[in-house]
Amino acid sequence: MKFDVLTLFPEMFEALNHSILKKAQENGIIEINPINIRDFSNNKHKKVDDYPYGGGAGMVMQAEPIFNAVDYIINRYGKKPYTIMMSPRGKRFEQSDAKRFLQKEHIVILCGHYEGIDERVLSIVDEEISIGDFVLTGGEIASMAIIDCISRLVPGVLPKEESYQDESFYDGLLEYPQYTRPEVFRGMKVPDVLLSGHHEKIRRWRKYQSLKITYERRPDLLNKKKLTKEEQDMLDEIIKSKEE
């Protein structure tokens, strides 16, 4: 899978050249290409911003360098890839979006900066995406989070499929508690069921704990998930125990 990232700060994406994503890039499973928008400015000083029409504080990114950069990508690959713009007005990114974007072989991510981007750029953007209701200096950090999330789902990036299928949000629930050695630490003991070796009991315990944590911390997620009969029975038991 290929990611082209249009940014004013390509050096920031060195952060993705580590750990799992580094190995995935070395193995040719994913490709991350930061593209400097300044390289496509027709201004001799590589200027890419200007004052906003109508007045106001700050500067606005110009449309021309961005259009030029997208034209470069289109000419290079022979077609326009699916294009995302990081924006606080965009749809909030969720795990389901990562699964959806996984179906795209090539994604372009546009990172905004300054006070915004010339609105005419939206004519070449397929989707605006946000990672939450807060403000960042630019779209780079947000785009890295999205690239990381999508990349983990690409076959071959993680050692086992189970590595991501058991993680929080993959099936719409928060993850169950995890433990490792030692069995007892400062008086705190690993739950007996995890030491039992009984796979079905462990599976049920983990499912119950996952539902319990989701109900307590993110009940909104339960409204989006279609529960199985087993899950519904467990949830009813959890709710009842809370009411007693």
CA distances from 80 to 58, 125, 211 (A): 31, 10, 42
As annotated, the binding site includes 112, 131-136
Greatest C-alpha distance within the chain: 72
Report the SS3 class of residue 72: helix
Cβ(7)–Cβ(34) below 8 Å: yes
Phi first, then psi: give them for residue 48, nearest 5 degrees.
-125, 5
**Mutual orientation of helices 140-151 and 19-26 as an angle, nearest 10°?**
70
Q: What is the per-residue burial (b if ≥16 Cβ within 10 Å, else e) of 222-243?
A: eeeeeeeeebeebbeebeeeee
As annotated, the binding site for S-adenosyl-L-methionine includes 112, 131-136
Nearest Cα to Cα of residue 114 among 168, 62, 42: 62
